[in-house]
Amino acid sequence: MKRIFNFSAGPATLPVEVLRQAQEEMLDWQGRGVSVMEVSHRGKPFIKVAEQAEADLRELLGVPAEYAVLFLQGGATLQFALLPMNFSQPEQTVDYLVTGAWSKKAVSEAKACRKVNVVADPGEGHYTTVPDRAQWKPTSGAAYFHYCPNETIHGVEISTPPDFGDTPVIADMSSTLLSRPVDVRKFGVIYAGAQKNIGPSGLVVMIIRRDLMDRAPASLPNIFKYSAHAKEGSMLNTPATFSWYIAGLVFAWVRKQGGLARMADVNRRKAEKLYSAWPPSIGPG
């Protein structure tokens, strides 16, 4: 078997051990004569998978009890629209930092329902560095501050989470989560489309400070409300069971490797190797 490295946009590589386990279990999961996709999501065997996945993610990231962990669908892009609907009132302003394509898309979805203040945006062709903090123009009393710690397309990375006091920070960690340890308490909401570091596309993992979920206007349909999903253990409707199962296998694999500090070390060494092979003009300054 020849596995290749995938440096393209879109879904990333998964650990071979995880793929092999999924392959081995495809026709006969846990000796049940079915695959994990073919059993009830409300039956005990799948509930165990779901609970273990959450427990492993909580352990990896040190997620405190006052945060809910959700396994939802629609990828990160659906959350671009749902975040303002859930965490702000129609008359409130929401703050966004733009450092590349993904935070820009998040702004455009939020604008469909809320007043958006772009705290800083260097503009197309200039997504190469983080705008100087002194130039940021946050709104006093903003409902929240949104940013993308790692802009997957433009490559701009913000390693220290911004602090706006009582204003909750929401982070699109689609290409950050599981790559290193994260201090969850610095965030109101962390969300990540699964396809970079967690598993199949379509799944989105959300870590939400529970008190923030009360902010959703009552008029919001339940299926759009994070609080309704949390109340039903991410099973308000049929969840993406296979994706959830794969995410669980990946979390267990990361734990077996030594956790997120080990992942961070491996990633740093990979980056060093990559940049040392590139012309100096392309490597980090």
Ligand X SMILES: Cc1ncc(COP(=O)(O)O)c(C=O)c1O
Residue among 102, 104, 225, 244 flagged as catalytic: 102
**Is 265 noted as a catalytic residue in this protein?**
no
77 forms part of the interface with ligand X (CB under 6 A)? yes
Our finding on whether 148 is near ligand X (CB under 6 A) is yes
- Note if 2 is an active site residue: no
Active site annotation includes 44: no
**Among 86, 174, 179, 241, which residue interacts with ligand X (rule: CB under 6 A)?**
174
Q: Residue 208 CB, nearest distance to ligand X (Å)?
A: 17
Query: Per CB under 6 A, does 149 bind ligand X?
Result: no
Closest distance to ligand X from the beta carbon of 134 (Å): 26
- Among 193, 199, 233, 239, which residue sits at the site for ligand X (rule: CB under 6 A)? 193
By CB under 6 A, residue 95 contacts ligand X? no
Please report whether residue 172 would count as binding ligand X according to CB under 6 A.
Answer: yes
Q: What is the DSSP string of the chain?
A: -------SSSS----HHHHHHHHHHSSSGGGSSS-GGGS-TTSHHHHHHHHHHHHHHHHHHT--TTEEEEEEESHHHHHHHHHHHHHS-TT-EEEEE--SHHHHHHHHHHTTTSEEEEEE---TT-TTSPPPGGG--PPTT-S-EEE-SB-TTT--B--SPP--TTSPEEEE-TTTTTSS---GGG-SEEEEETTTTTSSTTEEEEEEEGGGGGGS-TTS-GGG-HHHHHHTTT-SS---HHHHHHHHHHHHHHHHHT-HHHHHHHHHHHHHHHHHHS-TTTS--
Q: Report the catalytic residues.
A: 102, 172, 196
Give me the residues that bind ligand X (CB under 6 A), please. 75-77, 102, 148, 152, 172, 174-175, 193, 201
